[in-house]
A and B are shown apart, each in its own frame.
Chain A
Amino acid sequence: MAEATFNSTQDYVASKELLSSVNVAIALKKPLLIKGEPGTGKTMLAQAVANSLGKRLIIWNIKSTTKAQDGLYMYDTIQRLYDGQFGEEGVDDIAHYIKLGKLGEAFESDEQVVLLIDEIDKADLEFPNDLLWELDQMEFYIHETKRTVKAKHRPIVIITSNAEKELPDAFLRRCIFHYIDFPNQELMEEIIRTHYPDVEENLMKNAMKIFYDIRSIRDIRKKPSTSELIDWINALQIGGIPADKLREQLPFVGVVVKKDEDLETVRQQLP
């Protein structure tokens, strides 16, 4: 392929399948849908892709109240009403009150960008359906100014989901899908080493052992994720905790286990 392809970067370790899914999505010009447990690096991926390809990253964070329209453009009617009352200048120009959303921004950009639509499942059930046309055709129409915004360069779209809600079939059909497995110990070691190249061997081994033990406790409500392990190892390094004291003392365990009930369970059940 002549086009630029994505590779693991200095601070992001990706499995081979993940790499190829990014490259297939770019080649087929389709959005890439990434699912996986929280903390497996879904959001980080977009940053890494942008860095690796040397493109700008635009992040659209989805919340439970986000509407598809918010990503396209906003018509600030209330501002216009206020301005009208005070006789401000430019009130008769509607375009003055049209503000492009993140998707609009990505379309209007003069160079190709990476667009991350983060945690799409947080939004309303119908949200993905409302974006079908825009993601397919890479254009939308502003009714108020009768203008069509068309992508100058088709952005690389990466969408993440925590599987809180099922996504509609029509939407899924248009995506390339990849599920990030929870990293096995080998990959985990590599990930930790990318973050802390000179981490002490014993400390890392012990911390990882405890981490996987905690994950295997069934009663636990929120399983700790990769990012929490990385934070924990950082805290342990800074605190200068000797590796052999980890299991009995569980220092800074609050970094890994976030819920009170879970803390209790871990103290009782950790083998």
Chain B
Amino acid sequence: MFSNFFYKCKEKGLNITLGEWLDLQDALNQGLCESSLTQFYYVARMILVKSETEYDKFDMAFEECFKGVKNETEVGKNMLAWLDKPEMSKLLHEEEKHWLNQIEEIHVDKDDVEEKFKERLKDQDSEHNGGSFWIGTMGKTQFGNTGGNVGGVRVGGSTGYQSAFAVVGARKYRDFRDDKVIDNRQFQLAFRRLRQFSTKLDIPKTELDIDGTIDKTCNNGGYLQIEMMKPRKNAVKLLLLMDSGGTMIPYTKLLNDLFQAVNKSNHYKDVKVYYFHNCIYSKLYKTPECDNGDWIDTEWLFRNADSDYKVLIVGDAAMAPEELYSDTGNYRGPNGGLSGYQWLQLVKRHYKRVVWLNPKMAPGRAPWREAETAIKEMFPMYKLTVKGLNEAMIKLMATK
């Protein structure tokens, strides 16, 4: 029964197994759904979905199956096909490229752009190239790709100038987890520095202290007296927050190396890895794709990763000033009522040790990179090189 619903759930990314599906059938057979759609919704949800973070996906699948409503905010396949015109970029004149370099001087109202984008997305029904209204290639509107406008919403395509506000629908970020054989030994060695052996941890005495037991037993006139001790363990807990934004694409390999190194360093007490897009807001993503919904609350992280975690933020800190300062500056997800700058301050306030690694840090002060300068004042920032990483590790371990 309802096998299209099963596939719809799978399509939405819910990992449902046959066993769980059969359980649902069993529940239906036993009449637990009471022939009511609402009851069926709850029963199906409690059997098929095992995390509140996936409720949203389930809701979407349920709605599509049982109400026939298509989700409208996603960029359709047709739209992406219309925009797939790599040959167009060759036509861009040198002159226009020159004009693109003047990025900083152009002021764009982002809210306005986003509003219009949604509107057009709804209304557009055919391919457009070189116009000034619809979403298309080679055009002058603020949406689409290979266009002459600087500061708009990019739809698909490859990042040529890294100036578009959003890379909506681009699913090109490779998962950093894909195991590649690379030489990241130097990175791994750097991570070895993060070590703090302690027997003062709040853990029970679980190891047999052989010397102590012999001593005690001898003193006890030969009658056995067991002595236990605490095992020596690395007490360092690491929280890795990685930028997976559009401007980070050129550094994918470097980040991959870094991620592999952390992954192979299994000597930490705990490692948590989350991703963000350009700046940290109220949500942190679980995968580098930064898919909407596949996230956790930043505040949840504050509650669950205490202030002893050593925090390593990796990002290029390259963003438009409003992405950092405006409380509606997050164009990909919710802001949670605070600006990116305020969120970063919360991170700083919550954690005792935070460092920022930047793959393309400007030397000294760089007034033309406003966001980077502001973040540098908040967190110690190091360039993402072996040397920089070593310095960052020393900073993380410093006692005061």
Contact = CB atoms under 8 A, between A and B. Distances in A.
A20 B20 contact: no
A179 B55 contact: yes
Interface string A208-219: 000000000011
Find the residue from A33, A177, A221 having the highest chain B CB count within 10 A.
A177
Given A27-B27, A85-B224, A178-B46, A164 B304 contact: yes
B338 A27 contact: no
A23 interface: yes
Interface stretch (A167-175, A190-198, A199-207): A167-175
Interface in A219-241: 219, 221-222
A24 B47 contact: yes
Given A1-B30, A20-B43, A218-B337, 16 more contacts: A24-B32, A24-B46, A27-B27, A28-B23, A64-B203, A78-B226, A81-B224, A167-B50, A173-B17, A175-B50, A176-B46, A176-B47, A177-B49, A218-B336, A218-B346, A221-B302
A65 interface: yes
B42 A20 contact: yes
A214 to B, nearest CB: 15
A24 B27 contact: yes
Categorize the interface residue count of chain A. Answer: 20 to 34
Contact of B303 (A64, A167, A222): A222
Interface in B31-52: 31-32, 39, 42-43, 46-47, 49-52
A1 B23 CA distance: 17
A23 B32 contact: yes
A27 B50 contact: no
Contacts of A17: 42, 46
A103 B95 CA distance: 76
A40 to B, nearest CB: 12
Contact of B43 (A24, A163, A175): A24
Contacts of A42: none
A contact face: mostly helix, strand, loop, or mixed? mixed
Contacts of B336: 218
A55 interface: no
Contact of B19 (A20, A82, A173, A179): A173
A21 interface: yes
B204 interface: yes
Given A23-B32, A85-B224, A177-B50, A28 B55 contact: no
Nearest to A169: B15
A35 interface: yes
B368 interface: no
A65 B230 CA distance: 13
Interface in B271-307: 299-300, 302-304
A218 B17 CA distance: 39
A263 B8 CA distance: 48
A221 B303 contact: yes
B223 interface: yes
Interface in B321-354: 336-338, 346
B26 interface: yes
Find the residue from B49, B303, B346 having the highest chain A CB count within 10 A.
B303
A30 interface: yes
Contacts of A221: 302-303
Interface string B8-22: 000000010101100
Contacts of A65: 203-204, 206
B303 to A, nearest CB: 7
A167 B50 CA distance: 9
A175 B17 CA distance: 12
Nearest to B54: A177
A130 B116 CA distance: 54
Contacts of B47: 24, 28, 176-177
18 contacts: A1-B30, A1-B31, A24-B32, A27-B32, A28-B30, A28-B32, A65-B203, A78-B226, A169-B15, A172-B51, A173-B50, A176-B46, A177-B49, A177-B50, A179-B52, A218-B299, A218-B337, A222-B303
A218 B19 CA distance: 41
Nearest to B349: A219
Interface string B302-317: 1110000000000000
A25 B304 CA distance: 29
Contacts of B39: 20
B53 to A, nearest CB: 9
Nearest to A22: B46
Interface string B52-64: 1001000000000
A172 B224 CA distance: 45
A28 B206 CA distance: 39
Given A179-B55, A218-B338, A221-B303, A21 B226 contact: no
A21 B223 CA distance: 56
Nearest to A20: B42
B271 to A, nearest CB: 12
A178 B52 CA distance: 8
Find the residue from A169, A178, A179, A219 having the highest chain B CB count within 10 A.
A179
